[in-house]
Amino acid sequence: MRLLVTGGAGFIGSEFVRMTLRDYPGDSVVVLDKLTYAGNERNLDSVRTDPRFRFVRGDICDAAMVGELAADVDVIVNFAAESHVDRSLEAPGQFILTDVFGTFVLMDAARAHGHQRFVQVSTDEVYGEVNHGLSVEGDPLQPRSPYSASKAGGELQIQAYRTSYAFPAIVTRGSNTYGPFQYPEKIIPLFITNAIDDRPLPIYGDGGAVRDYLFVEDHARGIDCALRKGAAGMDYNIGAGGETDGITVADTVLRLLGKPSSLKQFVRDRLGHDRRYALDSTRLSGLGWRPTVSFEAGIAHTVAWFVEHEEWWRPLKSGEFWEFYQRNYKPAVETPAP
C-alpha cells in the first residue's frame, strides 16, 4: 500500500507512520504536514533514512499540492488538524480551515484519483458530552466546542460524499490519547513536564471531568485495523474503556515523579467544558482490535519517556508556548517563562 499520511509529523500521526513502516515492509509513506506549532519533524527521525519514506511540508488546504501527491498513492489517512480544544476557544478560524475545508480538499483529491479507501481520523468529542452510558457509532453528532464542531464538520462533508458519490471513506473516532511525543499542551504531557520543573499542575474547575485515556500505540493500531480490515462507509470508535478524572491524572503524575500534592492548583474551568466522553468500541473489536496498554502501565511509560527525553520537550516549552500559556491560564497560575 502507498499511503499519504497528512499530519504525520504530529503526535498520533508520527506513531502511525513509524508503526506502518515497521510492520508493513511492502508499504511506502509520504507525510504531508504544515509543521504548525504542534508538528515536529524530529518525531520522524527514526524513519528519515528509510527509502520508503518521504516528507513534504505543505498545507492540506492547498488543492494543487494535494492533487499531485494523491496521484501517486493508494490511500490518504488524514491526521492533519488543529487539535487543541483550548486553542479553538481562543481562535476557532484556523480550525474551520484545516479541519473542515482541508478535509474536503483531501477527499476531493482522493475521489478524483479513484482511491478505494480514505481514512478520516476523528474524535469521540463529536458526540458531545455524554453524561451516562457509552456512545455508539450511530449516535447523533452533537459537538459543543469549536474544535469538536470543526471535526464534526469534516465528518459531515465525508457523509455527504459517501451518500452522493459512494465515496469509500472510513471514519475513526478515538478517545483522548497520550504517550511519547505528545506536544506538552495537553493534560498529561503538560502535567508531567510542569511537575518535573516543580511548577503548578493547573486543574480545570473541580477536576471531575472524565476522559477515556488511550495509549498512543493502541490508537495507531486501531486506525490501522480500520484501514485494513474495516468496511468502506463505516465509522469506528476507538476507546480504551476507562474513566479517569483530572484529579486522578494529577495525583498519578505526582506519585510517579515523587512530587508533592501541593503542586495541584485548581484554576478557572474551561468554557463549555465537556464533563465526560465514553465510547463503545465493540464494532472495532469485531475486527480483532483490542486496547493492550492499561492506564497505569501507559502513564508510567509516558512519565519515564518524558523524564528521559528532556531534549525533545524543553525546546517546545518556550516562546509561543509560554505566550499561549500566559493567556490561557491567566491569572490563576504563575507562568513566567524559565
- Which residues lie below 8 Å from residue 39, measured CB to CB, with a gap of 6+? 7, 9, 10, 33
Residue of 15, 33, 82, 125 with catalytic role: 125
Cβ 130 to ligand NAD, closest distance in Å?
Answer: 15
Provide the grid cell at 229: 480490515
Q: Are strands 75-78 and 2-6 parallel, antiparallel or unpaired?
A: parallel
Instruction: Tell me the per-residue interface mask from 71 to 90 with ligand NAD, x by CB under 6 A, - otherwise.
Output: --------xxxxx-------
Residue nearest to ligand DAU (CB): 123
Residue of 15, 82, 147, 178 with catalytic role: 147
SS3 223: helix
Question: Which CB, 84 or 199, lies closer to ligand NAD?
Answer: 84
- For residues 32 and 63, what is the distance between their CA atoms, to the nearest angstrom? 12
The reply to whether 1 sits near ligand NAD by the rule CB under 6 A is: no
Phi, psi of 98 (to 5 degrees): -75, -50
Residue of 59, 124, 212, 274 with catalytic role: 124
| 15, 33, 59, 124: residue in contact with ligand DAU (rule CB under 6 A) | 124
| 4, 5, 6, 244: residue in contact with ligand NAD (rule CB under 6 A) | 6
Active site residue 124: yes
Cβ 328 to ligand DAU, closest distance in Å?
Answer: 8
- Which residues lie below 8 Å from residue 128, measured CB to CB, with a gap of 6+? 141, 142, 143, 144, 148, 274
Active site residue 125: yes
Question: Which CB, 28 or 43, lies closer to ligand DAU?
Answer: 43
Which residue in the block uniquely carries the three cell numbers 509560554?
322
Cβ 28 to ligand NAD, closest distance in Å?
Answer: 19
| 77, 130, 190, 303: residue in contact with ligand DAU (rule CB under 6 A) | 190
The reply to whether 246 sits near ligand DAU by the rule CB under 6 A is: yes
| 34, 117, 144, 317: residue in contact with ligand NAD (rule CB under 6 A) | 34
- For residues 276 and 131, what is the distance between their CA atoms, to the nearest angstrom? 6
Phi, psi of 132 (to 5 degrees): -140, 150
Nearest residue to 199 (alpha-carbon basis) of 250, 264, 140, 253: 264
Instruction: Tell me the per-residue interface mask from 109 to 148 with ligand NAD, x by CB under 6 A, - otherwise.
Output: ------------x-x-------------------------
Question: Which CB, 98 or 157, lies closer to ligand NAD?
Answer: 98
Question: Which CB, 28 or 175, lies closer to ligand DAU?
Answer: 175
Provide the grid cell at 76: 490518504
Candidates 108-116, 173-181, 239-247, 293-301: pick the segment binding ligand NAD (CB under 6 A). 173-181
Residue type, 257: L
| 7, 143, 146, 200: residue in contact with ligand NAD (rule CB under 6 A) | 7
Contact 174, 223 (CB under 8 A): yes
Q: Are strands 2-6 and 201-204 parallel, antiparallel or unpaired?
A: unpaired
Question: Which CB, 121 or 263, lies closer to ligand NAD?
Answer: 121
CB atoms within 10 A of CB 159: 15
Rounded to 10°, the helix 246-257/295-308 angle is 50
User: End-to-end distance of the chain based on CA atoms, in angstroms?
Assistant: 46
Cβ 256 to ligand NAD, closest distance in Å?
Answer: 20
The reply to whether 12 sits near ligand NAD by the rule CB under 6 A is: yes
Cα Rg of the chain, angstroms:
19
Active site residue 235: no
Question: Which CB, 43 or 83, lies closer to ligand DAU?
Answer: 83
CB atoms within 10 A of CB 31: 29
Interacting residue ranges for ligand DAU, rule: CB under 6 A: 83-85, 123-125, 175-176, 186-187, 190, 202-204, 209, 211, 246, 270, 277
Residues annotated catalytic, as ranges: 124-125, 147
